[in-house]
Structure formats: structure tokens, C-alpha cells
Structure 1
């Protein structure tokens, strides 16, 4: 707090506000009303912070943040902690992969042998149930000449299968 009192805040905030208002005037002339008003709003903030007494709080927040960042960047113990945290994350991922492989190896001997070329059902998939009825034979779609076949034939076939057409 001692450094805060050594700075002449009124001239500093006043100077920042005046400089911002000059830039706002230039923004009005070159780019129009909306950018000029936005620049004016930003220019008034330093004087508003001084007049409301918010500068000590902003100074404390800024100095604490700068102290934290410099302590984080220049402290070897902090970097060692970052390395340990990274190692921990890598070990979690590796152990998860190893656990998944172990679980898959346990399931493999209980499964029946699959012939080469045959597809295996997906994990967690329910086997097809035999209801005792024969499946209906697929209806033959109308054959059109190759020249008349267009992109809508697939859609028409799908609609016919669903009974929508």
C-alpha cells in the first residue's frame, strides 16, 4: 500500500482521460458515432475509478495478480508441481488403457471361437432373437430403365418400404 500512496493519481487519471477523449474525437471524425462513443466510454473510466475511490482496490488486485504470476513463472518448485501434475494425468490415462485391455482379455476366453472372416457382434449388443416366424421376402422394387433412374429412386423405395407412398 506504500507504493500506492507515492503515485499522484489525480494527474495520472486526468491525463489518461484527456488522452482518451482526444482519441475519441478522432474516432468520431474518422469512423463515425458508434466507435467514437465507445472510445469516449473507455476514456472516462480512469477518472471514474479515481473519483469513486476504486483505485486502491484495483491496485491491490493488480499487484496481487502480478505477484502470483511472477511467483508462478519464476519459481522452480511451482514448475516441479506442474510436472508432477502432468505425470499424474499421464498415469491415469495409461492405467485406464491397461484396465480396459485387462477387461477385454477376461471376456475373450468365454466367447465362442469366431471363424476368420465372420463378424463379431458389438460389445453390449443383444443377440438376434428367433421368434419362430420366417422373415418376409423383400418386395422387388420396380425396375426402371437406366436412363430414367434418378436420385429420387432411393427415396421412393424407402417410402414404399415404410408404407408411406
Structure 2
């Protein structure tokens, strides 16, 4: 059952700073993030997911309960020269998502993913890609939403869903 009072809405310009926290939460390691310093997101391979967010093709939705942002889902277009972990091609947005730990398992991710897929369809995107660590519990959620594994790598899967 979804959380009572859960609202899915676009990220506001003045809220961009919260993407740093949600990028940190999106970094998955098997033993949890508690030993990772927050500045891990400043690594060039990660900061690209949020740096100068609000470019032409950037899209972000947040989940909010009682005026608290508890989850975020966002997409960016990368090119082959500056690709992210979930890069598929220059016309396929790459998706990132995270939910605060205390709100996981309450269908917040389902709501975010469902709303983002609809928004991307409305904007005429044909597909969306992502990278997910092999041991990440979210892998099953992505499969439930139609993502297929198109490449198995050493530590992660490259997944894609047609919209």
C-alpha cells in the first residue's frame, strides 16, 4: 500500500541541491553506504549525474510526504564521449533513482518509476536505460517495470526498457 499523502511532482529549481543526497543514496554497495563519505559523489564518474542539472533534456520527479522529499528519480542524456554507467546511446536518457532508507518497501519507487515512464513517453522518448549493481534489491523492481538486461558486466547490469 502506498504511503498516505504521497505526492509525486517535478523537482523545483530551488531544490536542485537535494539531488546530491539522492545521488549518494543511489550509489549502491552491498554492505550499505554508511562507510562511504558523502564526497564520493564528487568523483567525476558520479557528479556528472547532477552537475548543472536543469539542462534542456534533464527531467526529475520527487516523492514528497508531509513536505519532506523522500525519493527522487531523474534522467539525463549523455553522449558517447561523456557517457554514464547506464549509457545506451545518445538519444536514450539514463535513469537514476533513490528513496530514503526508511521509506523503502512502501511502493515509493514504484510510484516514481511509473510516473517517470509516463512523462518520458509524453516527451516522445522511445526508451530509457540504467545501470544497477547485480546485488541491488531494486533490480527486481526494474524487471517488474519491463526493463531487460541487455548487458551483464562484472559488477552491474545495463538495463533498458522500451516506452
TM-score range, shorter chain: under 0.3
- TM-score of the aligned structures, taking structure 1 as reference length: 0.19
Return the structure number with greater helix share.
1
Structure whose residues are more often strand by fraction: 2
| TM-score, normalised by the number of residues in structure 2 | 0.19
Larger Cα Rg: Structure 1 or Structure 2? 1
More relative contact order in 1 or in 2 (CA 8 Å, sep 6+)?
Answer: 2
